[in-house]
Structure 1
Amino acid sequence: MGGFFHTLGTLFRRQDAPAQDGGVPDAETERLRALYRERCSRFRLLLSANKSALEIMADMEEALRGVRPFGMTYVRGACTRACASVFQIVRHLNALSDDRWPELETKFDEIRAGIEAVVAPHVRADGGPLVLPIAETGVDMADQTGGKMANLGEIRRRLGITVPDGFVVTATGYQCFMEAGGLQEEIDRRVQAADATRLDEVFALSASIQQLILSAPVPDELADAITAQVERPAGPPPHDAPTAPHPGTGACTGAEVRFAVRSSAVGEDSLDASFAGQYRSELNVPPEDVLDTFKDIVASKYGVTAMTYRLARGIPDEDVPMCVGCLVMVDAVAGGVAYSRNPLNLRDNTVVINAVPGLPKAVVDGSFSPDVFVVSREVPMAVAQRQIAAKPQRFVRDPIEGVRLEDMPSDMVDAPCIDDARALEIAALAAGFEVFYGEPQDIEWAVCPEGELTILQSRPLREARHDELPEGECAPVGGADGADAAGGDVVAAAESGPLPGGYGCADSGPPVLLLGGTPVSPGAGAGLAHVVRKDMDLLSFPDGGVLVIERALPRWAPLLSRASAVVAEAGGAAGHLASVAREYGVPALFGLPRAAELLEHAGIVTVDADNRRVHPGRIEDILGHAPRRNLMEGSPVHTALSEAARLVLPLNLLDPESPQFAPAHCRTLHDITRFCHEKSVEVLFGVSDHMGATGPGTQRLGKQLRVNGTKLQYWLLDIDGGFRKPVPGPVVDLADIASAPMLALWDGMTAVPWAGPPATDARGFLSVMMESTVNPDLEPTAATTLANRNFLMISRDYCNLQARFGYHFCTVEAMAADNPHENYVTFQFKGGAASADRRTLRARFVGEVLEARGFRADVKDDALFASLEGLPKERILTLVRGVGYLLIHTRQIDMVAHNERVFGPIRDRIAADLARIAPVAG
């Protein structure tokens, strides 16, 4: 390295000497100049890789702190991109420095191996049966059968309670199917190629994967195992079960045996992630269709609702093997869902039962509003409340269609579908299940024509967020359809009288659009009312909107991660959509007739689920200021990103003058990035903290900027025609600069004298002092080594600025040539003197200013990345002039970004100055 710079130094000291007088021959001059240009090119590539690495790191930080969902594809992709960028940085530094730091690659490999170990796909152990009879399952086998079927087996074996007979295709059977013919490999490829955060891409991805699964053959060994179970006769109850009648294939089935084929994915029905309604179930399936229906259920793993749910909850695809339960179909005369506790408040000592006539499908998919029985758990149990809904139809078995809707007899429409005795029987069973499992339960049940009560499912009951409910109060649950309002009309003029659960209608307050219904998820939310009737309506749903639907169907669940509240005309607290709304913490009010019609053009509304009202406009007093829950936090995907981020994001190398600033002390990719950037400037410009800029070809700009009493100095490196003429000596005059973009940048920096730091308030001052205290890399004045590191690499049409202004670090790069297709401006900025939230506000402000001038600006926390390209030379130079102005005049405004009284005039002055010194046509 020393020999190269010695020769290059000779070149720059003697570049004007004629060859016959002992100067460097012309051929050697050109060779060395070409070599130096190649080094400068390496430096630019390093800066580009450095920019990419910092953007990726900023995005990872935002993902960890924000509420946007992401999957393992994002985690692995972000880690891979970060490693690739940092590897490029290391490679370019080694090329620049003739491998001065060979240990960098070893340290990089060590950190990369740690990251890969964290994000590597989970490999499941092979082995185990392809199928298992329900009678042989239990909770100890949940990782092979899924929780739903494991619980049914446990109930049958340990409690002797009647459950349908049947079997489950295990996780091993699922793997057998998915690995045949490379099916899983192709699915993984398609998932990785799609942007799962875009709903339109998710729809296309879902359709392609489901078709792939439905077209795949079932391997012979799995098909034979399933067929054998379908054809087997019912066996006797297990020898260790308590005495109880065995359901057999004839119980609740009618003359012909048919099956309910249901998902039982591993992790489904857990306390943390219910997956309520996210997968498909097929009812009344004939034996000859079971194999095809098995594929239907597996394909539903990649339905839009399921994929968006896993994304929102941070659950990797590979952690959800789709086990499939095949149960003898129950011919129910009534059915529904029982909660062993009130799902809106588990402290409430009641059992809540939702019931409909016919199959319980109408309760769980939110098709109709059910009857609701609230049973006191006091001894003896007693029915405390009833809400009997109008039930004009019911789902029944059909030999051709599987299930169908049929009209209810007129005398049964308004009649309760179960009596109090049945409600008490169900309540006693629910309370017993809670004791058995040691936690509240959500139970699906059915009543056979012979009167026998059959359990179809039991899973942990998740409590809704109750931090917004008053202590000791509980919103009512159930499926009231709004008929308790006057005449069934739920407009503001209606008066409903006192409501159950301690709520009533206020005589005064903000205007009311809708009144009544049933709060199925507590709290309040506001946003633009958006009516969704078909799948295409999902694509236009606005972030933070209020979801308005006619029926509370599970198919609308993909919108819950973006919705501020939900309003439905029909549905109850036991429906799948209500369960997911509670899980997501989204306020929901169901059972409001004509809601879609009345809210179609309502604009922004506030939904107060607790008090059963929908108000026009945004009402802050109702909303409160509780932050939106981060559904990702604590999930497997979030945990994987957190663990990987520990090897990517922390910055430990803070002081370049410290002996610890060395490859051996790099513990993260950020450390390597910082080290390489610092050393690349030192290598190329010949700069050190003690010597200043002394490298060959590096000259100091004679013109200086004085900011806040401190002189800012700039060193120049001319890589190709940046000077008007050869300039001997260490100092170059501004008049000798030929680089058009550098001159434009300088014009912007000097066009308006800096007025000094804004007068900050006490909070702003304390914010700066706190940040300076906790960050040893920041100094309280600009007269430090940080302020002196301002470097310009220039050519006639090109400029690259590496600058430190006290607390701030920025990079500006511009090309302004005659060909517009070559031209661009990029601006990278990070840092600030104040707290993180104030620095973020500053970055957003600068980003908004640049976007108004045509830039694409991406703000991640306090980091800004902005770019623009493809414009004529003069337009580029005008934009560069504006960037130069912003570099100086947005300094330290982060200290007052929270104070509109101070910040408003600054914002107006910046806009006026830019319009004057760097006008851009609109």
Structure 2
Amino acid sequence: MRSILGLGRKTEPASTRDVVKRKFECFMRILSENHLALRVISELQEKATGDYLFEQGYLRLNVDTLSASVRTMIQRLGELSETRYPELTDIHRRLDQQVQGELAQRKKIPADDLTIPLAEICAERTESVGGKNAHLGEMRNRIGLPVPDGFAISACAYQRFVGDTPLAGQIDEYLTGLDINDLAATAEISNEIRRLIGEQPLPEGLEREVAESCETLQRRAGCVSLAVRSSAVGEGTESSFAGQYATVLNVPCSRVLDTYREIVASKFAPRALFYFINRGFRQEEVAMSVCCVAMVPSKASGVLCTVDPIDPDSGNLIISSRWGLGRGTAEGSLPTDFFRVAKADKRILESKVIPQESMLTMPVGEEGVRVAPVPAAFREEPSLAPAQIAALVDYALRLEQHYGAPQDVEWVVDQEGQIVLMQTRTLALTRDQEDLAARPPLPGYRLLLERGERAAAGVGHGRVFPVERDEDLGRFPNGAVLVARRTSPKFVAVMNKARAIVTDEGRAAGHMATLAREFRVPAIVNAGNATQVLAAGSEVTVDATHQRVYEGRVEPLLRRPRARPGIFRETPAFAILQKVLPAIVPLALIDPDDASFRPDACRSFHDLTRFCHQTAMQEMYRLAEEAARHMDQACRVKAGGIPLEVYVLDLGGGIEAEPTARTIDPEALTSLPMRAFWTGLTSIAWAKPRPTPGGFLSVVAHTVADPELQQRLEEKSLAILSREYMNFSLRLGYHISTVEGLCTAAVEDSYLRFYFHGGAASAERRLRRARLVEKIVEQNGFLVQRQGETVEAILTHCDRGMLEEKAEMLGRLTVYTKQLDMAMFNDSIVEVFAEEFLKGQYARPA
């Protein structure tokens, strides 16, 4: 034990305070990393529904963050416990290797022609030509919609131009360690990379193939210029990359190769670097294909969304349009006409036409684009005619049906007034925007609760079944709504029966919330007073999506169709996520009191997180008990009329006194939980209990017979303190009490723990007092376990007000129960004393 505290060493032994302070810092770091790890697990689990668009870079970034966080927790637990759990490091290494092996699989660019006609492109060729080209080919060749003719410069060409050359290594060197928040450094590196691309020789054969493709396009389509646009692999599919790369309009065939360099270089423009580095991509994963299509000298242009992002359930689509070319419309940088159209019958429900003074045009005989005045006859006219709107809606609905998801469509109107589609991509409507959009409460139904956090979205209906202790789970009926004060991973035992879960406390990143999402059980946490307003047996409908609970059965919510689930399940990133999730999310370590709660039972990062967090709390508790036997650097508190010899060991911020002070006044205590506990400790008189028949004699006899009890009389009380932490080991005559509290801004970290053991009366009387303590702390909201005369209780997820209130209560309880075992002469007295204390009547009844 002396080695644990750093005492008794031959050379410069660490002080008790220094060792305990270092271990406390380890403990706080574990709590911090636990938050981060659970948040990442929660996010990955949401992505596993298939309702969210994400990319491999996002996945890699989050898995790396999780692994590093869990590794830190294991390291800090090792310092806290003197490396008592070495197997955790091996388990973490194995899990990390498993997930990194899946993530390390690089995207392969297929061998293909350097240029590919649009007539030969469909969705299957996405990895060769990128999303934009693939969608154009799909619209033309599979759906039969009007798109401009053209060709793609393939990703294979990019690989031969950059990816498989020494330039790729130079780019990696520039990007390694780049701080994208340093705008000046990012711009400098961007300029240098783009300069290198400008000097890089084009791959052999590209010039010839581009010239041939341009000649064929001129002959077939009669075009004299092209629109040259980025079509990076991944663009418009898993990741939008919207507006990140260059588009150059009205490019003559003689300038296509120079423009190609410009488009490739735009991959490394400052804003593009910020996008793909911030999203966790490696540069080699974003191969730049380029889209070359016949330039359409458009009269008007715009964007159509097949679902209204503001009101996804309205059954309407929306159109934005403007005179001239479409660059400003797509970017959203210019004002536009607006049309709202009913998808069912194509009726125009709303039309807003704005006066337009200027538009983007193609100058005759010149390359590039110019701003020109809108002809006077068109300035206050709608940029789309009703017939054009009808045609556009028809095309959009065919696209939505083909892709099976809402679409974001770019289009133009050519000089003959015909619609030409330029691009389509999945509309960025995640479940947060679609199913989870804010809605007012349903009229005509009584609202019982409207607060809390969504832990798992959905709607559930059933009768309320309160769960106050673990034993209640054994009686949980099928189809009920579980209502509890706090969350617990033990609820997993009834998640196959529960229609919904509502708790007063908890957070959406906690263990139970993770399990609720896994079992698809609608859950609201941190609802505040659910246990007070939701009566046992009452019929309720829980709308966890919007954090509401209604009285009775709310049929409109229960029959509301859910948006098409899992629309992103076919993406490569989702496939990789499914492979790594088994090493991340499953939680086997649920009950810390179970024999299986041990290091070698950890099978996932979630298990490691749970074990480290729970064990760290136990280690702090153990450390405080050991440190209480060493008073070498503690200072004594002038306790006044309290019959206690109290010492404090300050870890920083726990007291306000000179470093050399050996005694302090109670007013010098600045630890938040300690001040509250001390208030309770001094708020009532320390009166001795009235003598009861046989009580004193039984104490004397028991003490003489047990030398350990005699030793306890000589022990002092020690409090380990910081501004937000207290671990107070009290030695009150013959019994031991320990009160531990952590009060932080993070409610999910804050807790109070109480331990009570011992006494000097007969076993029967000590047992009665333990039952009294159990009853009182349980009525105050603590989770309690009692074995014989030992009581352990914990209160979690406390805000500062609650923690201070309950710590003060524990102080009063300490005074109230001192030597009370001698008065516990029959079972009925337990109820009497408990009732008086809970009423605030602290003078002991006769």
Give TM-score scaled by structure 1 length: 0.49
Could you say which residue in structure 1 is the equivalent of 2:210? 230
Quote the Cα distance in structure 2 between the aligned partners of 1:652 and 1:213: 50
Establish whether residue 156 from structure 1 lines up as the match of residue 140 from structure 2: yes
Establish whether residue 395 from structure 1 lines up as the match of residue 331 from structure 2: no
Shift of 1:34: 1.6
Shift of 1:106: 3.2
Could you say which residue in structure 1 is the equivalent of 2:229? 262
Shift of 1:137: 1.6
CA spacing shift, 1:648–1:56, aligned 2, 3 Å: farther
Could you say which residue in structure 2 is the equivalent of 1:867? none
Shift of 1:154: 1.6
Could you say which residue in structure 2 is the equivalent of 1:561? none
Task: Summarize deviations over 1:71-126 as a string: whole Å, max 9, x none.
Answer: 568636644643553454366468x5xx76654543443454456457x4552124
Quote the Cα distance in structure 2 between the aligned partners of 1:103 and 1:789: 37
Establish whether residue 357 from structure 1 lines up as the match of residue 323 from structure 2: yes
Kept after mapping to 1: 8 A contact 2:131/2:233: yes
| 1:283 partner SS | strand
Quote the Cα distance in structure 2 between the aligned partners of 1:757 and 1:169: 79
Opposite residue 356 of structure 1, the aligned amino acid is R
Could you say which residue in structure 2 is the equivalent of 1:181? 166
Shift of 1:35: 6.6
Opposite residue 133 of structure 1, the aligned amino acid is P
CA spacing shift, 1:204–1:892, aligned 2, 3 Å: farther
CA spacing shift, 1:810–1:235, aligned 2, 3 Å: same
Shift of 1:421: 4.0
CA spacing shift, 1:751–1:394, aligned 2, 3 Å: closer
Establish whether residue 405 from structure 1 lines up as the match of residue 368 from structure 2: no
Kept after mapping to 2: 8 A contact 1:661/1:675: no
Quote the Cα distance in structure 2 between the aligned partners of 1:660 and 1:424: 65
Quote the Cα distance in structure 1 between the aligned partners of 2:675 and 2:308: 68
Could you say which residue in structure 1 is the equivalent of 2:555? none
Establish whether residue 324 from structure 1 lines up as the match of residue 290 from structure 2: yes
Opposite residue 608 of structure 2, the aligned amino acid is T
State the Cα RMSD in Å.
Answer: 6.2
Could you say which residue in structure 2 is the equivalent of 1:139? 123
The within-5 A match list for 1:56-67 is: 56-61=33-38
| 2:669 partner SS | helix
Establish whether residue 671 from structure 1 lines up as the match of residue 671 from structure 2: no
Kept after mapping to 1: 8 A contact 2:412/2:420: yes
Shift of 1:140: 1.7
Kept after mapping to 2: 8 A contact 1:60/1:645: no
Could you say which residue in structure 2 is the equivalent of 1:214? 194
Could you say which residue in structure 1 is the equivalent of 2:50? none
Shift of 1:711: 7.9
Could you say which residue in structure 1 is the equivalent of 2:11? 34
Quote the Cα distance in structure 2 between the aligned partners of 1:435 and 1:5: 68
CA spacing shift, 1:373–1:178, aligned 2, 3 Å: same
Kept after mapping to 1: 8 A contact 2:410/2:424: yes
Kept after mapping to 2: 8 A contact 1:829/1:863: yes
Could you say which residue in structure 2 is the equivalent of 1:730? none
Kept after mapping to 2: 8 A contact 1:693/1:715: no
Could you say which residue in structure 1 is the equivalent of 2:561? none
The within-5 A match list for 1:817-856 is: 830-832=749-751
Task: Summarize deviations over 1:461-500 as a string: whole Å, max 9, x none.
Answer: 456648457899xxxxxxxxxxxxxxxxxxxxxxxxxxxx
Shift of 1:686: 8.6
The within-5 A match list for 1:81-92 is: 81-83=68-70, 85-86=72-73, 88-89=75-76, 92=79
Sequence identity percentage: 22
Q: Give structure 2 stretches of 5+ with no counterpart.
A: 47-53, 443-545, 549-567, 684-711, 730-736, 754-795, 811-846
Could you say which residue in structure 1 is the equivalent of 2:471? none
Quote the Cα distance in structure 1 between the aligned partners of 2:418 and 2:95: 62
The within-5 A match list for 1:446-465 is: 446-449=412-415, 453-461=419-427, 465=434
Quote the Cα distance in structure 2 between the aligned partners of 1:828 and 1:288: 65
CA spacing shift, 1:55–1:744, aligned 2, 3 Å: farther
Establish whether residue 106 from structure 1 lines up as the match of residue 90 from structure 2: yes
Kept after mapping to 1: 8 A contact 2:34/2:613: no
Quote the Cα distance in structure 2 between the aligned partners of 1:350 and 1:681: 60
Could you say which residue in structure 2 is the equivalent of 1:123? 106
| 1:158 partner SS | helix
| 2:139 partner SS | helix
Kept after mapping to 2: 8 A contact 1:164/1:456: yes
Kept after mapping to 2: 8 A contact 1:252/1:331: no
Kept after mapping to 1: 8 A contact 2:251/2:368: yes
Aligned residues: 576
Shift of 1:357: 2.9
The within-5 A match list for 1:638-787 is: 652=589, 662-665=598-601, 667-669=607-609, 671-672=611-612, 675=615, 678=618, 687=626, 739-740=660-661, 747-748=668-669, 754-756=678-680
The within-5 A match list for 1:480-559 is: none
Residue of 149, 159, 171 corresponding to 1:165: 149
The within-5 A match list for 1:218-617 is: 223-233=203-213, 251=221, 253=223, 257-270=224-237, 274-301=240-267, 320-340=286-306, 344-345=310-311, 352-372=318-338, 386-398=351-363, 402-449=368-415, 453-461=419-427, 465=434, 467-468=437-438
Shift of 1:227: 2.5
Shift of 1:149: 1.0
Opposite residue 414 of structure 1, the aligned amino acid is E
Please say which of residues 120-129 and 40-49 is displaced more in the overlay.
Answer: 40-49
Quote the Cα distance in structure 1 between the aligned partners of 2:370 and 2:108: 42
Opposite residue 37 of structure 1, the aligned amino acid is A
Kept after mapping to 1: 8 A contact 2:236/2:425: yes
Kept after mapping to 1: 8 A contact 2:743/2:751: no
Opposite residue 110 of structure 2, the aligned amino acid is G
Kept after mapping to 2: 8 A contact 1:443/1:458: yes
Could you say which residue in structure 1 is the equivalent of 2:701? none
| 1:362 partner SS | helix
Quote the Cα distance in structure 2 between the aligned partners of 1:274 and 1:428: 24
Opposite residue 139 of structure 2, the aligned amino acid is I
Quote the Cα distance in structure 2 between the aligned partners of 1:172 and 1:121: 21
CA spacing shift, 1:215–1:637, aligned 2, 3 Å: farther
Residue of 75, 79, 89 corresponding to 2:62: 75
Task: Summarize deviations over 1:409-447 as a string: whole Å, max 9, x none.
Answer: 323322444544444443443344344444454332334
Quote the Cα distance in structure 2 between the aligned partners of 1:383 and 1:827: 51
CA spacing shift, 1:60–1:205, aligned 2, 3 Å: farther
Opposite residue 426 of structure 1, the aligned amino acid is L
| 1:323 partner SS | strand
Opposite residue 390 of structure 1, the aligned amino acid is P
CA spacing shift, 1:651–1:413, aligned 2, 3 Å: same
Shift of 1:457: 1.5
Q: Give structure 1 stretches of 5+ with no counterpart.
A: 12-31, 237-246, 473-623, 627-632, 719-733, 760-784, 795-799, 813-825, 835-860, 865-884, 896-922
Task: Summarize deviations over 1:765-785 as a string: whole Å, max 9, x none.
Answer: xxxxxxxxxxxxxxxxxxxx9
Task: Summarize deviations over 1:658-713 as a string: whole Å, max 9, x none.
Answer: 7556543454045246547755886x8894xxxx966x898999879899x99897
CA spacing shift, 1:748–1:44, aligned 2, 3 Å: closer
Shift of 1:225: 4.9
Give TM-score scaled by structure 2 length: 0.53
Shift of 1:456: 1.4
